[in-house]
Amino acid sequence: MTLTPRLTGALLLSLLALPAPALAAPAPAPAPAPGPAVAAGPHRHSAAEISRFLTVFYGKHGPSRYGRDHRVSQVLKDKQRDSPQSDVLLCAQGEPRSIAVGPVTVAASAGVGWATVTTGWDTEHTDTFTAYVRLDSQPIRLDDVICAG
């Protein structure tokens, strides 16, 4: 049987209409189903956050009643209870004339940040102590105070 040009053209068009075999590049893999969001680690306070906290916490003349009740660790509350003759948050008795918070150091591996706090008194002398803040405290709070002298 001989194919006429008309039949050959019709056969070619019929073949082109058939689905092509999967000779092209494979289809891309389906996108993975959305899973649960990966929880970010707990927030860790930066040196700047600790500096702001200590500056506000100590204010110009010492911590407020609210700060003493809500922004200090249980360790400090227990220290104060055991030392009623002194203000453990200021390492002294009385109200200072001025308070200055120094630069904050953060030790991420230890999970703590600290700053030297300087208090000025009526007699023109100053005292210093170190205030510590846990980097993961929520809300941020004063964790401990170590007096210089």
**126 in Cβ contact with 118 (< 8 Å):** yes
Single pTM value for the model: 0.71
pLDDT category, 23, cuts 50, 70, 90? very low
Lowest mean pLDDT among 23-27, 75-79, 120-124: 23-27
Q: Provide the pLDDT for residue 43.
A: 85
Whether residue 14 is predicted with pLDDT greater than 50 in this model: the reply is: no
127 is written with which tokens?
A: 């005292």
Nearest to 118 by CA among 91, 81, 86: 91
Whether residue 10 is predicted with pLDDT greater than 90 in this model: the reply is: no
The CB-side HSE value for 38 (13 A sphere, CA atoms) comes to 2
Whether residue 38 is predicted with pLDDT greater than 60 in this model: the reply is: no
Domains within the chain, CATH numbers bracketed: 47-147 (3.10.450)
B/e letters for 78-99, b = 16+ CB within 10 Å, e = fewer, are ebbeeeeeebbbbbbeeebeeb
C-alpha span between 31 and 81 (Å, rounded): 60
